[in-house]
Each structure stands twice: as structure tokens, then as C-alpha cells.
Structure 1
Amino acid sequence: MRGGKALKHYVVDAYSTIEQNRLYYLRSHQENLWSELYYGLTDDFNRVDVTGDNVGHVVLPSSYTGSPRYMKQLYLDAMVVVHHHGSPDLFITFTCNS
């Protein structure tokens, strides 16, 4: 609790290192992670003309926070909740001063 700026720098560096390692793992193990569960991906590759612009394309799984697949999964989960429970009547947000 008394670390101050040095502790904050350490925490940010540690987080950045962990994220960099996760991305490196995903990039270097694409052939192991490749799955037919990536719907429409092969269609996209077949539709796009293979040029130098597409080289190095990395597929991020839905388990990687912030990836497009992660956001789509959150959206689909929210739609299932709405389908099961119905549309919400109110949308309430709260804010507070720290």
C-alpha cells in the first residue's frame, strides 16, 4: 500500500509483460489453436484476395479479453439473456465521486 509510484510502474510493467506473453503464445501457436469453431473464417479467407496485406493475420480466440470474438460472445450472451427474460423496462446507471 505504501509503494507509491514505483509500485504502480511495477504493476503496469508486469501486466504488460503478461499480455505480451499471451499474445506471443497466440501468434506462435496458431496452427494448434486453429479450429473449425471459427465460423465463417475460411469463407473470409476465400473471399479476400491473398496479397501481402493479409500475411501475418492472427486469429484471437474469444477467451482473449478485448478481441472481436470476445466482444461478439458478450453480445450473444446478452441477447440470450434478453430472449430468456424479455426486454428490460429500465436502464439505470449510477455514478459517484471517488
Structure 2
Amino acid sequence: MNAFVRQVTAASSRFLGQVPRDLFYPTQSNGRREHALDLPDGSTGSVLVEYSAAHRASDGLLSAASRRIVTSTGAGERVSTERWELREPTP
């Protein structure tokens, strides 16, 4: 089972490592990408990446972003989420 998980992780990592081009100045508030995966046991699965961003009205700079990742296989789903916030430095 551990080898299977490692292979699924390796196959999906090429999608998860992609950073939006407009990361610090988002032009789009939401995005969604889904990719099919050929799994080591011959079955198929998928990786769904949902991204949302908010920006400051004053200058368009990113103020918050989140990413939700759903990895699906015949055995079930794994969901992970990330959230970032950019704030002014405190003195």
C-alpha cells in the first residue's frame, strides 16, 4: 500500500507544484483544474485543484488565497486545504 501511495503522490505532484502566474496581483478570483491520473494498478483517478484569491482594493495586491486539493482513487478521496494571508508587518 505504501508504494501505491508514493506512486499516486508522485503522479499528482506535477499539478500541485504549479503556482498561479498572477499570485501576488490576482486577476482572477477563482480557478478550478481537474486532471486524470493513470494509477499504478491500472485504474484511473483524478486530482482536483480549486484556487480562490482576494485582493486589496487599494492596489490589487493579494490579501488572501486558498487552495483545496481533492485526490480521488477507487479507494476513496483525500482532501487537503491551504490558506495564506498577507498582512502588513507589525512594528
TM-score, normalized by the shorter chain, greater than 0.5: no
In the superposition, the TM-score normalised over structure 1's length comes to 0.29
Q: More strand by proportion, 1 or 2?
A: 2
The structure with the largest alpha-carbon Rg is 1
Q: Higher relative contact order at CA 8 Å, sep ≥6: structure 1 or structure 2?
A: 2
Q: Which has the higher helix share?
A: 1
